[in-house]
Structure 1
Amino acid sequence: MTFNQIMKHYNIVVTFVLMTLLINCKSAKSVMASGEASDKLSAKQVIKQHEKNDADFKTMQAKVRIDLSQGEKEQGATFNLRIEKDKVIWLSAPLGLARMMITPDKVRFYNKQDNEYFDGDYKLLSDFVGVDLDYSKVQNILLGQAIYNLKDEPHSISVNENSYALQPKDQNALLELFYLINPSHFKMDSLQLFQQLKRRILQVDYKSYQEVDQQVLPKHIRIIAVEDADEVAITMEFKSTSLNGDLRFPFKIPSGYKEIVIK
């Protein structure tokens, strides 16, 4: 599926991408990037600290302002987000006009404005970003964590503008992968994926972090997806969020809606 074919289903693609990028907590304080990257740390030491700082919570609830631009198109809104870690990600548009629920097995979505729904797997989102995604990878992006297990293969390390730059020693010729790790809290500063043959780029930049209940979580995120001359950019600002409350995840596709079929 080409980038332009995917963008024909603009609303659902936008919602899928938003789901990969939402996280925040209430009573938060900004995390200052006061650390300095040292060339004395090995890749194994940085990876160990990165995995140690993975956020630990049961549930999360948030409101998030999301702005998207694609060519001359621009739109923005505030969404309600609920997460039960490792189980479900739920997103609702204002007035319930659209709703999405992601689980380890399925991606489901309905849109009351167009009387349409989608009930399928991760193929659409994977085609859009150029990476085979699953629930674990989506959640890791949410939390500022590496999308692959960094212990699965050896990585090289260098210091790049006060970030630890990690990359697999044996880069895939079809997909080049780079992580920039913050020296203060060892979360990601940036995730960068390059597919030279398909002329595709995916870059997720974590502009700032915050500390909540001794957890370091993303606060402002920007994602850019490019194929050839086509570019989509999304920015997020996270507010009014709480952790570990009792949450419900209501989701029922209304009867009579037309199914969105992705070929």
Structure 2
Amino acid sequence: MNRKFLLLGVLSLLILSSCSQKTTGINWNFLDRNKLDVQQVDFEYFSGKAKIDYKDNDNDVKAKANIRIRKDSVIWISFSAIGIQGARCLINQDSITIMNMVKKEYHVFNYDSLSKQFNFEINYHTIQAMALGNLLLPRSKSDDVEKQDDYYILKQKENSISVTNYVNPKTMKLEKVEMVEKPSKNSATMEYSNFQMIEDHAFPFSGLVSILYEKNKGMLNTVIEFEYSKAEIEDKELKFPFNVPKKYERK
């Protein structure tokens, strides 16, 4: 499996690996953007195990992943599946490194190039927000809030990207995100479901991401289904083993 699939799988995994905080019901009908208090998760260490089903125009791949996160520091993922057995990923404040221990090679991605590729500002804090199910963009005075039948709709913009957040009015948790890049009309939709309690946190054990993007041969669609079998907020310090051997070739 090539590095493009690995990178897309990692980013999709992070989008779907969304952890959310338990909240009390809020039932008033407001349109004041300053009162929309979307609940965000806070923790020190997180760990989980999940199954991923990745499909695009040419591939249908199933994989297992172990995930560990230390807040504001590092995200560690270990993959196992046919084609990517022994793959590991380390995401820190500076870059994303993916190591394939079967092919004995590794890839390093910097955030500037990724931001240009996806036409969206990508950095560690953006990825961590995806991993936690928190808002991708910070709140601002230009945000627009409206009430629909089942959701509060929070609309945000950054450069050419429009982000629509769907917030459950009873839990004040983010349940769906739609992103559209206007010039290209590339888009991504993330949906979270099957929420279960982990200590004081509600965690979506199932998720779906759909990415529609343009390439030379037209618009392509990638769909990733995600299901957790285990997720924990950890009290103890976790380890993040990642050491690229000198004999590995950088691609």
| TM-score tier after normalising by the smaller chain length | 0.7 to 0.9
Deviations 1:24-75 (A, max 9, x none): 69xxxxx8x99686533522111xx21xx32122111111111111114111
Deviations 1:157-185 (A, max 9, x none): 222340101114xx567222211111122
Q: What residue identity is the alignment partner of 2:100?
A: N
Q: Out of 16, 19, 26, which is 2:14 matched to? A: 19
Structure 2 CA distance for partners of 1:247 and 1:121, relative to 1, 3 Å: same
State the match for 2:104 in structure 1: 115
Gap regions ≥5 residues in structure 1: 1-6, 26-30
State the match for 2:165 in structure 1: 179
CA separation in 2, counterparts of 1:125 and 1:21?
19
Deviations 1:203-256 (A, max 9, x none): 111223222211223322211111132111111111222222331101011222
User: Identity over the aligned pairs, expressed in percent?
Assistant: 20
State the match for 1:4 in structure 2: none
CA separation in 1, counterparts of 2:98 and 2:90?
7
Aligned partners of 2:19 and 2:132 also within 8 Å: no
Structure 1 segment 25-44 matched on structure 2, within 5 A: 38-44=28-34
Q: Out of 155, 164, 179, which is 2:152 matched to? A: 164
Shift of 1:16: 3.6
CA separation in 2, counterparts of 1:172 and 1:187?
22
Gap regions ≥5 residues in structure 2: none
CA separation in 1, counterparts of 2:149 and 2:11?
31
CA separation in 1, counterparts of 2:158 and 2:48?
37
Aligned partners of 2:73 and 2:92 also within 8 Å: yes
TM-score (normalizing by structure 2): 0.84
CA RMSD of aligned residues (A): 2.7
Q: What residue identity is the alignment partner of 1:257?
A: Y
Query: Partner of 2:192: helix, strand, or coil?
Result: strand
Aligned partners of 1:101 and 1:107 also within 8 Å: yes
State the match for 2:206 in structure 1: 220
Structure 2 CA distance for partners of 1:59 and 1:255, relative to 1, 3 Å: same
Q: Which has the higher strand share?
A: 2
CA separation in 1, counterparts of 2:56 and 2:113?
18
Aligned partners of 1:55 and 1:217 also within 8 Å: no
Structure 2 CA distance for partners of 1:86 and 1:69, relative to 1, 3 Å: same
Aligned partners of 1:130 and 1:200 also within 8 Å: no
- Please tell me whether residue 140 in structure 1 is matched to residue 129 in structure 2: yes
Aligned partners of 1:37 and 1:162 also within 8 Å: no
CA separation in 2, counterparts of 1:45 and 1:250?
42
State the match for 2:227 in structure 1: 237
Q: What residue identity is the alignment partner of 1:136?
A: H
Structure 2 CA distance for partners of 1:12 and 1:175, relative to 1, 3 Å: closer
State the match for 1:254 in structure 2: 245
Moved over 4 A (4+): 33-38
State the match for 2:4 in structure 1: 9
Q: Which has the higher helix share?
A: 1
CA separation in 2, counterparts of 1:19 and 1:175?
19
State the match for 1:90 in structure 2: 76
TM-score (normalizing by structure 1): 0.81
